[in-house]
Structure 1
Amino acid sequence: MPEAPVRTGQRSCPMSTMDERAPVNHTEPPPLPDWEFDDEFDGGEETCGRVIVNLHLYIRDQKPGLKILVISRDPGAPVELPAWSRMTKNELTKMQHPYYLITLKPHLMRS
């Protein structure tokens, strides 16, 4: 009789492409792009939505038009941050993984 496959449990993040048992790659990020920004938010090693939740908490009281450099090493960030920007009406001005330049609510800026 064949052995049943060993179940290691379900992943908490369906977007994750990384094997949880694989070592984390702690290589240096590419050099910071030459972008102008007002503030910086580093998501660290967080993955799958945690960066977005923490970013939301960080920016919720900020003024429209503020340019924030978001740093996210999450392999899903190139998909997640543009989608989040569209849904929240924040503008993803530039992106060069792991760097994302977001302009907060530009449509609410007063002329």
Structure 2
Amino acid sequence: MALRADRQGPHRVAFDKNRKVLLKIQNTCGICGKPIDKRLKAPDPLSPVVDHIVPINKGGHPSAIENLQLAHWTCNRQKSDKLFNTIKEEPKVLGNRNLPKSIDWASYTS
């Protein structure tokens, strides 16, 4: 079984360095947004782990700090190698104001 790129070769040292940085500067889970108790250790389900935002097998960089975030162990397991759509849809402007989203106002004409 081959090891992942962040666990071998030139990326291992950079990954470990960035892991230490993330443990110092981040306090919330990048997946669920709740606080992380850094005193918890594995195998506790709420223990902190480093998550690849874009999974390595989907083309994400194995050790770039821009592709890493702190997460709860369970959140990271549930996310697995999925990609989340982080593009937020802008509200559609009809006329000169934003209309409430409770009804599809675009189908109405004046």
Q: TM-score range by the shorter chain?
A: under 0.3
Structure (1 or 2) with the greater helix fraction: 2
Larger radius of gyration: 2
Per the normalisation by structure 2, the TM-score is 0.25
Structure (1 or 2) with the greater strand fraction: 1
User: Greater RCO between the two (CA within 8 Å, min separation 6)?
Assistant: 1
